[in-house]
């Protein structure tokens, strides 16, 4: 009799353990408060961080790093006017302008306002050059972009909610106080004339945009002209621009647009685009008017007129691992390009401003579209964000989930052993 009770208990414990091992799990690797965030490395310190060529004028408020050639010849270029001393000190070597290839002036004025600049190739065309000298690049662009591509790919795996679109507007609504994640197709996003975002003040927002290209100028009802962020203090949407932003810029500072597979991203010249943009495989066209109020990390960049990058560094926590590239070598003040070789060829041709015409720079109030009612939520704004509780964690992959399942199975197996032990004690007590 004792044998049959023990056998049944063991069988029960074993079957429960087996079930624990084979039942699928939805566990995620979401960081809790104080958990890990992806490290953007040296790239995170720059407002423009470009792997290939950068053709831009007239200025960038933050630091600029260009792996290829920097063409500032159209209207000159100024760099770093809004940087703080602490931000300059945090840059590799204190360089707020880094050019890995040639610096193309053709008579234009190029000036580093705060920090200092370095170019590894040669100056083409001459012109007034202030605060910039020849030397080796302090940045390993290959290593930095390998990290950025890894981060972008991993973020794209994050479980996210879907926005709501009525054709003319698209609304992203999230309620998590820590992290809200959304996923949207590029062709859906670019149809919107106005984009709305409503999340708690200070939460990190990640918008994963899928597809090979995104063009704000190609909406069927017209281009994307306005970005509106919910001001939690005022209880209304505020159109983001240099002179205003919701909750003093709290949402904008932690907003990231992630384009993991796009090879081209085009901004409409008639808007101010809030948040930072991670497009490590894309040729990024800023157009000829209106800023990006955040950082841009891209394969190449073109922009002119009022199409600037404003200094609003990304300060959010991107949920995931801490992949940190090793320290890049410091530049030598007297170093030159080895062997005097030509700097690398452009990684992508500079694209012209859409339509081939200059667009007027937007006014402080942004586009001419009417602002929504101060307290009303746009039609169809019940879209959901990821409420991950600790950051909308990455979907389970790899051995981490196997470990969890194995531990669970061992716990249940131990419980089965407890059943055996209890049965034996009961039997022994009855016999005494």
| Bridging pattern class, strands 64-66 and 54-56 | unpaired
Q: How many helices (H) and strands (E) does the chain have?
A: 5, 28
What's the full length of the chain, in residues?
Answer: 432
Q: Give the C-alpha separation, 272 to 238, whole Å.
A: 12
The rounded distance, in Å, linking the Cα atoms of 290 and 305 is 8
Phi, psi at 136, each rounded to 5°: -75, 150
Contact 403, 194 (CB under 8 A): no
Query: Quick count: other Cβ atoms within 10 Å of Cβ 107?
Result: 10
**Of 377, 364, 376, 80, nearest in space to 245 by CA:** 364
Q: What pLDDT tens digit does each residue of the chain (432 aa) get? A: 333 333 333 333 333 333 333 232 222 223 434 468 999 999 999 999 999 999 999 999 999 999 999 999 999 999 999 999 999 999 999 999 999 999 999 999 999 999 999 999 999 999 999 999 999 999 999 999 999 999 999 999 987 899 999 989 999 999 999 999 999 999 999 999 999 999 999 899 999 999 999 999 998 989 999 999 999 999 999 999 988 999 999 999 999 999 999 999 999 998 999 999 999 999 999 999 999 999 999 999 999 998 999 999 999 999 988 765 444 444 333 333 333 333 333 333 333 333 333 333 333 333 333 344 334 444 333 334 443 333 333 222 223 332 333 333 333 334 444 433 444 444 444 443
Rounded distance between C-alpha atoms, residue 86 and residue 56, angstroms: 26
Say how far residue 96 (Cα) sits from the centre of its chain. 21
Q: Are strands 59-60 and 77-79 parallel, antiparallel or unpaired?
A: parallel
Answer whether 0.85 is exceeded by the pTM. Answer: no
CB atoms inside a 10 Å sphere around CB 188: 16
**Burial class for 299, CB neighbours closer than 10 Å (0-12, 13-18, 19+):** buried
Are the CB atoms for 208 and 155 separated by under 8 Å?
Answer: yes
Distance, CA of 221 to CA of 42 (rounded, Å): 40
């Amino acid at each position: 009799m004792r044998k049959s009770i023990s056998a049944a208990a063991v069988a029960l414990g074993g079957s429960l353990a087996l079930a624990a091992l084979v039942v699928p799990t939805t566990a995620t690797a979401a960081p809790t408060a104080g958990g890990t965030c992806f490290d953007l490395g040296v790239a995170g310190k720059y407002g423009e961080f470009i792997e290939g060529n950068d053709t831009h004028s007239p200025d960038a408020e933050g630091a600029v790093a260009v792996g290829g050639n920097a063409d500032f010849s159209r209207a000159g270029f100024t760099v770093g006017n809004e940087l703080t001393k602490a931000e300059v000190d945090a840059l590799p070597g204190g360089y707020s302008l880094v050019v890995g290839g040639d610096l193309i002036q053709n008579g234009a004025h190029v000036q580093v306002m705060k920090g200092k600049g370095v170019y590894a190739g040669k100056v083409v065309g001459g012109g007034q050059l202030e605060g910039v000298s020849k030397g080796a690049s302090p940045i390993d662009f290959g290593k930095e972009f390998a990290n950025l591509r890894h981060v972008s790919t991993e973020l794209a795996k994050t479980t996210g909610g879907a926005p709501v679109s009525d054709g003319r507007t698209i609304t992203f609504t999230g309620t998590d106080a820590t992290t809200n994640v959304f996923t949207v197709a590029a062709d859906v996003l670019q149809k919107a004339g106005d984009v709305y975002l409503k999340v708690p003040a200070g939460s990190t927002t990640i918008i994963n945009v899928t597809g090979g290209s995104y063009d704000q100028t190609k909406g069927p009802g017209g281009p994307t002209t306005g970005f509106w962020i919910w001001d939690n203090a005022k209880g209304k949407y505020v159109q983001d621009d240099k002179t205003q932003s919701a909750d003093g810029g709290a949402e904008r500072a932690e907003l990231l647009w992630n384009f993991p597979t796009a090879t081209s991203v085009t901004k409409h010249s008639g808007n101010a685009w809030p948040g930072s943009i991670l497009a490590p495989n894309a040729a990024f066209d800023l157009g000829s008017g209106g800023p990006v109020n955040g950082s841009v990390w891209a394969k190449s960049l073109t922009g002119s007129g009022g199409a600037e990058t404003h200094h609003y560094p990304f300060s959010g926590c991107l949920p995931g691992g801490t992949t940190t590239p090793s320290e890049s070598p410091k530049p030598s003040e007297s170093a030159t390009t080895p062997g005097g070789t030509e700097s690398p060829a452009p990684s992508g041709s500079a694209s012209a401003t859409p339509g081939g015409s200059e667009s007027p720079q937007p006014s402080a109030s942004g586009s001419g579209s009417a602002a929504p009612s101060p307290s009303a939520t746009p039609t169809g704004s019940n879209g959901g964000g990821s409420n991950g509780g600790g950051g909308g964690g990455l979907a389970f992959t790899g051995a981490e989930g196997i470990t969890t399942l194995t531990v669970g199975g061992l716990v249940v197996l131990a419980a089965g052993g407890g059943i055996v032990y209890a049965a034996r004690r009961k039997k022994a007590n009855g016999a005494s």
